[in-house]
Structure 1
Amino acid sequence: MAVTSRDVARLAGVSQPTVSRALRDDPRVSEETKKRVRDAAVLLGYVPSEAGRALSSGRTRRIGLLVTDLENQFYAHIIAPLHRELESCGYQLVLHTETADESVAERLIANGLDGVILATTTVESVVPLRLRDRGLPFVYFNRTAALVDADATVVAPAAGFEVAVDRALALGHRLIGAVLGPQNTSTGRSREVALRAALAARGIPLEAGVVRHGPFDTAAGDAATAELLALPDPPTLIFCGNDVMAYGALNAARRAGASVPDDISIIGFDDLPPASWPILELSTIAYDYVQMAREAGRLMVERIEERPEEFAHVEFETTFVERRTLSAPRAH
C-alpha cells in the first residue's frame, strides 16, 4: 500500500494539512515541525504527489514554451538554460508546438499551465490576446507581438550592426547586400531597421535589388544568396538575418564556386555555437542568448508568483565577433 500524507502526519504527530504546508516550506510552520515532518517522510519513504500539490496550491508548477518554428536551430540552444532556470525555481518546462494560432491558444489554456513563454510569435499573432483574455500569464522571448504588451526579453541589435558596418567599410566594402528574416516578426523588422540605420548614417544605401527576405532557416539563406550571387553586379558582403540563414549563404557560395571571404563576405546574427567551429568561423553579431533565456524564465516566475503592476522589457545588447568569413573584397 502506498504511503500517504496521513501516514506521515500520524508519525510526526501533526495534522495532514500541516504535513502539506511543511513540505512546501510554508513560513507559517515552525522549523522544528518542518524537521519532524521531513524526518517522518524520509522514514516512511513518502513522495509528495504533484497532482495533490496542484490541487492544494492552485498551481501545476508547469510552464509552457511555445515554439512554432521547431526546426530553427536557434531554439534548440535556449531550451536547456530555460529549463535549468525554471527547475531552480521549482517549475517544469513543457514544450508546445503548433501552427494555427487559434488551436495553439486553446491547447495552452487547456493544458493546465501556470504560464507560457512565447518564443516564435509573429507581430500579428492573436495568441497573446487570447491568453490575456483568459488570464494565463505569458512572457515574450526574443519576438514580441503588436497587439498585447507583456514582460519580454529581446535583443537590441543597433550596437552590433554599427560595429560590423564600420569594420566592413574599413575593409573596403561598398556594395552591401542582405538576406533578412520575415517582415511579420519583430526580430526580422528590428534587425533590418538597425542595419539600414547603420548604413545610412555612414552614407551607404541598402539597395532594394540586393535585399531578400525569407524564413529564418538555412534553405531561405541558401536560395536568397544564390540569387544575389547570380546578379550582374553582386554584393561583396551579405548580412544575414541570423546564423542559420548564414549557414545557407555559405552553402550557396560553395555551390556557386565563390570563395568566402575573397569573392563574398558573410556576416550572421546570434553567434550560435557552430559559428565558432573551425569549419565555419562565421563572423556574426553576438549577444547573450543563454542569459536572455534565463531572464525570460525568471520573469515568468515573477509574473506568476508576484504579479507586478508594470511589465518588464529587458534588452540584451549586441557586439560584433569577427572571424574568417569577413575580409577585404577582391580587387576587380
Structure 2
Amino acid sequence: MRDVAREAGVSQSLVSIVFRDAPGAGEQTRERVLEVARRLGYVRDESARSLRSTRPLSIGVCFRLGRPFHDAVLEGLYRAVAGTPYRLVLSAVSGSRAEEAALDDLEACRCGALLVIGSLLEESELSVRARRIPLVSVARRCDSAEIDWVVSDDEGGMDRAVAHLQGLGHESVTYLSCPGASGGENRERAFRKVAQRLGLVGGAQVRVGGESEEEGVRIAEEMVAAGNVPSAIIASNDSLALGVLGGLLRHGVGVPERVSVIGMDDLKALHRPRVKVTSLCQDTSRLADLAIGRALRRLSPAEGRGTRPRGTILPMSLEVRDTTGPATLGKLPGGA
C-alpha cells in the first residue's frame, strides 16, 4: 500500500479508503489509485484485512466435490455476494475429507457465517456449530432453533411429476431413490405420499438408485434383463436419469415411446444436445440469494445472534422435454 500511495501521489490512508470502497476519495483519485495498483500488481491481503477488522468479513461455504447441484449453487452464491463487503471461503468435502474437517477449517479461518450445502451430518452436530457461528443449511430442512435453512419443495415437485405422468396415461411408475444423499429420504417420502394421494399405490414402486450416470445405466440394464421395465421412471437426480436413459436406449427400449423418464434438479451442466430430459427444476440462483440473505442478516449488528431462524421453501417447476410421452406399454425388445 505504501508503494501504491507513493506512485499515486496520495497518502496510504487514502489508498486504504479506496480499497475499502469507503467515502472520502474523489472519483478521479479512486481511478488513479486503482490504475496504479493494477500496474504494480498490488493485491490486497484479505487475511490481514480480516484480522484488523472488528467483525468477520468472510462467509464460509461447505460443499461436496463432484456434485453438479453444489456447483450450480456455488455459482449463484458468488453472484449473490457480489457488491457486498464479504467474500466467500470454500471448503470441500470429498472421499478423503470428512464434512467435519471441512467445517473445522472454515471456523479456523474466522468466517462470520457458514453456508452448508446438502449436509449429511446429524442435525445435533450442526446445532452445536450454529451456537458458535451463524449457520445456514442449503437444500436440507432443519428443525433446530439455531439453524436457518432454504430448501426446494420436493413434495410439490413430485406432485407435478406424478400428475404429469398420470395425465399421459401412465399407471406404473418407479421411483429411483438415493438414500445416501442429502434430502434423499425426503424425496422418497414425498414420492410415496404423492403416489398414495393421487391413487397410484398399486403401480408405484421404489427402487434404490444412486447419484451417478453409471448407476443409472446399471439399473436400466437390470430392468431390461429381468423384463421388468415400468411405464415411467422418476430418478432422484438428473445424473441418474441420464444413466437410465442411456441404458434403456442401448438395449433398444424407446424413450419416451416405451418408457417415460423424469429427472430432478434440472442442472444445465447435464443437458445433452440430442436428448433433453424432462426434469423437476430447482431454482439454484434463488436458493443462493436466500442463503446469502440469511447469512447477511445474521451478520448484521442490528439483527444480532439472538434472532429466531427463518426457513424458506421454494417451489419446483416441471420442465417437460423429450423424455416423457403417452403410455403405450409395448413389449420390450426380445419379446419380454
| TM-score normalised over the length of structure 2 | 0.80
* 1:2 paired residue number: 2
Say if 1:114 and 1:136, in contact at 8 Å, map to a contact too: yes
Counterpart of 2:293 in structure 1 is 298
Please name the residue that 1:321 is paired with. Answer: 319
Unaligned runs of 5+ in 1: none
User: 1:177 matched to which residue of 2?
Assistant: 174
RMSD: 3.4
**Following TM superposition, by how much is the alpha carbon of 1:211 offset from its aligned partner in structure 2, in angstroms?**
1.8
Alignment partner of 1:266 is 2:261? yes
- Report the Cα distance in structure 1 between the residues aligned to 2:34 and 2:285, rounded to whole angstroms: 40
Q: Deviations over 1:24-56 (max 9, x none)?
A: 466xxxx6x454996698399577653443233
| Candidates 74, 77, 83, aligned match of 2:72 | 77
Paired residue for 1:312? 310
Counterpart of 2:133?
Answer: 136
Code of the residue aligned with 1:181 in structure 2: it is C
Q: Tell me which residue corresponds to 1:234.
A: 229
The letter for the 2-side match of 1:102 is E
Equivalent-residue separation in structure 1 for 2:31 and 2:189 (angstroms)? 62
* Distance change >3 Å, CA 184–CA 285, structure 1 → 2: closer
Change (3 A) 1:223 1:123: farther
Residues 267, 284 of structure 1: 8 Å contact kept: yes
Per the alignment, do residues 312 and 214 of structure 1 end up closer, same or farther by CA in structure 2, a change over 3 Å counting? same
Q: How does 1:203-214 map to 2 (within 5 A)?
A: 203-205=199-201, 210-214=205-209
Once structures 1 and 2 are overlaid, which stretch shifts more, 299-308 or 238-247? 299-308
Verify the 8 A CA contact 1:223 1:252 in the aligned structure 2.
yes
Partner SS, residue 132 of structure 1: helix
Determine if the alignment matches structure 1 residue 111 to structure 2 residue 109: yes
Contact 2:238–2:264 (Cα < 8 Å) also in 1: yes
Question: 1:174 Cα deviation (Å)?
Answer: 0.8
Measure how far apart 1:227 and its partner are. 3.1
Task: Give aligned pairs, total.
Answer: 318
Q: Counterpart of 2:178 in structure 1: which amino acid?
A: G
SS of the equivalent of 1:67 reads: strand
SS of equivalent to 1:268 = strand
Give the deviation of 1:19 after TM superposition: 8.0
Deviation of the 1:176 alpha carbon: 0.8
- In structure 2, the gaps of 5 or more residues are 331-336
The code of the aligned residue for 1:213 comes to V
In 1, Cα distance between the equivalents of 2:279 and 2:112?
A: 36
Report % sequence identity. 24
Q: Per-residue deviation at 1:329?
A: 2.4
Question: Which residue of 1 is the match for residue 334 of structure 2?
Answer: none
> How high is the TM-score relative to the length of structure 1?
0.81
How far residue 319 of structure 1 moved from its aligned partner, in angstroms, is 1.8
What amino acid is aligned across from residue 290 of structure 1 in structure 2?
S
Q: Deviations over 1:200-257 (max 9, x none)?
A: 112111668x422244332333333333343443211011111121111112212333
- Could you tell me which of 63, 66, 84 is aligned with 1:67? 63
Which residue identity is paired with 2:251?
A: A
